[in-house]
Structure formats: C-alpha cells, structure tokens
Chains A and B, each alone.
Chain A
Amino acid sequence: MTREEIFNGVQDIFRDIFDEDDLVLQDSTNADDIEEWDSLNHINLVSAIEKEFKIRFALGELTALKDVGAMIDMMVRKLK
C-alpha cells in the first residue's frame, strides 16, 4: 500500500467521522485544526483506522505524534 493510498483512506475516515465530505487533510493537520477533534473523537478515529487497515497501535504509540503526517508515516512502516 502506497503512502498516498493510506493517506486517502485516512482522509475518508476523517470525512465519515466528522461528516464533512469536503474535508481535506494535510500532513501538518493536527487536533487544533479541526474543532470537533477532541479526545473522544480521537478514540473513534483511531478505532476506525485500526479496523480499516487491520492494524493496532501500541499503547502510547500515538501520543508522541505531532500531526497527521507523522501518523501516516508510522502506518506506512506498520503496513510494510
């Protein structure tokens, strides 16, 4: 799976969870950029990503990440 495919898959999940069809993610997008991205929705996003890509994030693995791009990079490594 290419980085772009992963990126688009993640973007689709964001669009579904926040119900915004024209939401566009950047590598630099983080929780400050999306109003509804609170801790509860964060859990929903992560669960949906884990389900869609059939991966699991280890405890604490995500807390250190600063933005969407960093998460995608980690997913690329996991999906290799």
Chain B
Amino acid sequence: MFSYPLDSTNILRKKKSLKKELLSQNKNLIEKNIAILGGSTTAEIKNILELFLLNTGTKPNFYESDYNKYYEDALFGNEQLDTFDPDVIYIHTTNLNITKYLSVDNTNDDINTLIETEIERYKSVWKALAKFNCAIIQNNFDFPIDRSLGNLDFYDIHGKTYFINQLNRLFAKSAREIKNLYINDINYLSSYIGLKNWFDKSLWYQAKYAVSMHAIPELAFNLSKIISSIFGKTKKCLVLDLDNTCWGGVIGDDGLDGIHIGTETAIAESYTAFQKYAKELKDRGVTLAVCSKNDFANAKEGFTHPDSVLSFNDFTSFKANWDPKHQNILDIAREINIGNDSLVFIDDNPVERDIVLSQVPSVSVPNVSSDVIHFIDHIDRNGFFEPITLSADDINRNKYHEDNKKRTNEEATFESYDDFLVSLNMIAEIKTFSSIYLDRITQLTNKTNQFNLTTKRYTVGDIENIKANDDYIKIYGKLTDKYGENGLIAITIGRLEENLCHIDLWLMSCRVLKRDMEFAMLDELVQQCKKKGVINIIGYYYKSPKNNMVADLYKRFGFTKIHGDDKDTVWKLDIENYANKNKFIKVTND
C-alpha cells in the first residue's frame, strides 16, 4: 500500500482504518517529533505523512503551525514549538509563497535585489530554526501552472519560471552549505506527476491547499524517504537475480553468445540500462550481491560478456547455486554483516519473489513484474537507497568489504587468531570528537544496530552539544591495517557524574568485529576517566531485536553485573587497578 506505484485514492479514502492497521501491526515503533511549518494548508499532509512514517516504524508526534505561519513561528518563536523539541522540522512552502515577482518595468539590476530579498527570507527562517539543532526539510519551488509569458517565461528575466529556477539554484547552494538542511525536491516531484495533477486551482481557492489531494500521498511518500534516510533506515545492499534480470535469456541454456546485453537490440539495451543503474548505485556506496539459481561458473561467465556493464568484482557476495533463494539471501546478509532488513531483492520470477518474501519478510522484495523496463522504477521510486549526503565513507564502503574479503581469506592461513591479528599491523586513532567527524558520528549512531549497547540515536545537534560539554567523555576510533583504512568505526560516549562515568553510548561498526578494537576503546576510556577522577564506570545494555551479540560485552570487559534481568542489564567497573586490554593495535590518541 505504501510503495510504488501508490494507490493515492485509497490511501486518502481509507486513511483512518489504515492508521489503525499500522498501529496494531507494528509494535516496535520509535517516537519522533515532527514539526510542520506550513505556507498553506497542511492538515491532510500531516495525516498522510503519519501513515507513511508508521509504515517505516516511526511513530510521529506532530506540531502543526497555524495556517501560513511558518515564517512567524520560525522567527518570532512560539512557546508550544519550543517545548515540542522537534527531531525534524518540515517547511512546506511552494511557489504560492513567493512574495514578489519582477514586473515588466523592472530592470536587470532589480532582479538580483528581488531574488536576494526572497532568499534572505528563507535564510533567516533556517537560521532562526538552527537553535533546535534538528533536521530541517525545506521544499524547493514548484513551477506555477500558468505562465503569461508562455515559453519566454523560462528565459526572460521577468519570467516567473526564470525567477523560480534562480531561487532553486540558491536553495541547492544553501543546502550544500548548511548542515542539517535538506531539500524536498517538489520541483522534480511535480514534474514527475505532472503540474496539472500536482496543483488544483479549485482546492487552492476553497481550502488553501497548495497541492492537489491526489498529490498529497506522493508528497508524503517523498518526505518519508528523506526522513527515513535521516534516521538511518536506508537499505544497504541490492541483491540481483541473473537470468532475465541482469541480462536477457538464460546463460546456462543460451551461452555467453546467446544472452541479451549491449546495444544491439531494444531488449539488450534495456538490460544494459538496468546494469548501468545498478553500477551507479554501487559507485556511490550501495553494496551489490547476486542470488541466482545457476551453475556458479556459468553465472560468473555472464559478466565476462564484452558488453556487460557490471563485472564479477562489483559484487560483494555472489551466490549462484541450486539452494533455495531465501537461504542464499540469509547467507548474503550474514556474509556482508548487515541486517536482513537492509536488503532489496530484484528478481523477474514471481515465484522466487514470493518465496523470499514469505520466508524472510524483512527483506524488501518489490513487485517488479517480469519486464526489465520496470525494475529501475521500483528501486528508484521507492527510495530504498535514498542518501542524505554522499559521504566519503559511503563511497568507500564497498572497498572496505573487499578488503574484508582478503582478510577473511588470510585468516584461514594462520596458526592462531592472535597470529592473524598481529599480521594485520593495525593502527588506531582514538581521540576526542572533532568537528570534521560530527556528521559521520551522527550517521553511525543512527545506523548501527548490532554492536550497539544502548541503541541511543543522536542528531547532529546532540553530538555538537556533547562535543562542547566537559561533562562528557566522547571518543571515536578509526582503524587502519595493512589492507587499508576502515574509516571511523567506533564511538563511546560517557556522561560524568561526580566520580561515576555512565556509558550512554557504546557502538562499533560490524566492519571491524573481532579485531580487538573494543579493547583499545576501553583502554582509552579508562585513561580519560582516570584523568577526570572517576572511580567507577557504569555500563548499560538495553536489549533490542538486533544487539544480542553484545549482551555479554561488559562481562568480557571485566565489569560486574549490578542489576538487571534477561533484557536490560547494568554493569560496574572499578578502574583503580585496571590493566590495559589491547595487545594488537598500535594507538595514537589526543
């Protein structure tokens, strides 16, 4: 119901029963505060957005500004909004909020002043909202449906279309510069669904909705993709079938010469386009995997086709065998060290899709049909891999996985695991938070689920505040070894209270499991605690559906359990006679 292609009519009509259904299905909802500051009516946008967020596991509490009070709420403050403490602020403005266009007697100089005035209005809004230290999602501008200058409207300086293009360009610039500012691209969305479907004059005059009813589910869907991405819920791995998915035909029957890929025929071109799209995803950090019923050698040979865009090495995990696909899917998730809910599976065969979906319901299996022409739509429109930034870390992620493969291969050749660790020549940088890493740190706190003791999520603002506060010990760890950099992969936040240090957050990326990095982090934490006069460190483990692997971490660290049940436990460590635990990693610190 809440995926491409949207059934907007039924979502709007049945929203009340859909909401009940979502609330009863999903027990592990995480509450988030969403403030909607509107430049037009937002009632139904709020209602429908609620459904889309519930569908992704978020239970929103809403603040909604009075009609067209986005500017006043932002600039002059509002007690209700202040106490609401938003996690996300959405500013719903459209071309109807543009205060003044150029008139025909204006000159070239006037336009710059006018654009400047308009953009300053929004800059002051974003600036005023910065005090909330939360994500701000801002609509860019859609085009007005009427243009009295006709086609000239696009390029004459007096044109509204021209004016809006300039504003959107400046919005893009601001969003690149201002941390926490994200653009909801309604300019794209409105052209995707068509301006005449996007805007409804009658609804505007009657109820001051700046978008049509039909467009509201599309708008809410688009917003939910951004919000999911902000909260780290993006998928990580695209799993592909091969025959009639990556190429036309069956490699085992048709042979390398017989499969359709390349530019010779329309069919071949459509498979090439799909491979190109997958390659684009891979290049910006999405992990690729193969899950195919095939002979391994045949499957691998398919990617040696001279016109193949993808090569065997583009895949981090390659399962081509005759086992049931859902078993291979589980193996892929385990091999890459990600949750099953981080996988998207594309297969032209409806039977295979059904098996995977029924056996592993947390995997996303879009109903792509058997026609390759639709595959990209289902990946792109559903926003499975929607990024909010392109961090260097995302782009390098696939290299980390490749390096990890080499490490695993080598592991087998050593007599003992210790010998293997020594051979890695590991060097860690374990230091107090610095400004350049705040984005990455925030990202990790929102994405890390397995090696995460408290699963506490932070916004960039929270992390900034902690960085500036002396009552916190806040350290990150980066690890390098002979195969390359692993990037920033560990975070520990300790809150000081007299002679106690409470560990609010302890997490590590699964990329560096079993490398003793956690011991190096503990050594540094203890050392910093001693400097601050701490006597005891208090550790907390809060059980989540995914963090079982660290249930006994504090025990392994030598902490004593002071209370707790099967689920949540509290641990204590006396640090007076603490001896360093890390033996294999050379550490540089502050």
Point out residues on A near B: beta carbons under 8 Å.
13, 16-19, 39-40, 43-44, 47-48, 51-52, 56, 59
Residues of chain B lying within 8 A (CB to CB) of residue A19: 14, 16-17, 20
B203 interface residue (CB < 8 Å to A): yes
Q: Is residue B13 contacting chain A, with contact meaning CB distance below 8 A?
A: yes
With beta carbons under 8 angstroms apart, the residue of B17, B20, B205, B213 that contacts A44 is B213
For B214, the chain A residues whose CB sits under 8 A away are 51
With A16-B14, A19-B16, A44-B44 in contact, do A51 and B9 touch (Cβ < 8 Å)? Answer: yes
Chain A residue numbers with a CB within 8 Å of B44 are 40, 43-44
> Which B residues are CB-close (under 8 A) to A51?
9, 213-214
Subset of 30 A-B contacts with CB under 8 Å: A13-B13, A16-B13, A16-B14, A16-B16, A16-B17, A17-B16, A19-B14, A19-B17, A19-B20, A39-B207, A40-B41, A40-B207, A43-B44, A43-B206, A43-B207, A43-B209, A44-B44, A44-B213, A47-B12, A47-B203, A48-B9, A48-B12, A48-B13, A51-B9, A51-B213, A51-B214, A52-B9, A56-B202, A59-B202, A59-B205
Q: Is B562 engaged at the interface, CB distance under 8 Å to the other chain?
A: no
* Chain B residues closer than 8 Å to A16, beta-carbon distance: 13-14, 16-17
Interface of B is mostly: helix
- Asked if B266 is an interface residue, CB under 8 A from chain A, the answer is no
List, in ascending order, chain B residues with CB within 8 A of A56's CB: 202
Given contacts A17-B13, A59-B206, 5 further A-B contacts (CB under 8 A): A16-B17, A19-B14, A40-B41, A43-B213, A59-B205
3 nearest A-B pairs in the assembled complex, by CB-CB distance: A19-B16, A47-B213, A16-B13
Query: What is the CB-to-nearest-CB distance from A43 to chain B, in angstroms, rounded to a whole number?
Result: 5
Complex CA distance for A44 and B9, rounded to whole angstroms: 11
Instruction: Tell me if A's interface is mostly helix, strand, loop or mixed.
Output: helix
- Beta-carbon contact of A40 and B12 below 8 Å: no
Q: Which residues on B are within 8 Å of A, measured CB to CB?
A: 9, 12-14, 16-17, 20, 41, 43-44, 202-203, 205-207, 209, 213-214
When the two chains form their complex, are residues A43 and B13 in contact, meaning their CB atoms are under 8 A apart? no
State whether A18 touches B213 (Cβ < 8 A): no
Nearest CB in chain A to that of B10: its residue:
A16
In the complex, what distance in Å separates the CA atom of A17 from the CA atom of B11?
10
Q: Which of A18, A40, A43, A47 contacts B16 (CB 8 A)?
A: A18
Bound: A52/B206 CA distance, A: 20
**Chain B residues near A48 (CB-CB < 8 A):** 9, 12-13
Q: Is the CB of B43 within 8 A of A40?
A: yes
Contacts of B20 in A (CB 8 A): 19
Chain A residue with minimal CB distance to B208? A43
Could you say which residues of chain B place their CB within 8 Å of the CB of A43?
44, 203, 206-207, 209, 213
Q: How far is the CA of A51 from the CA of B16 in the complex (A)?
A: 18
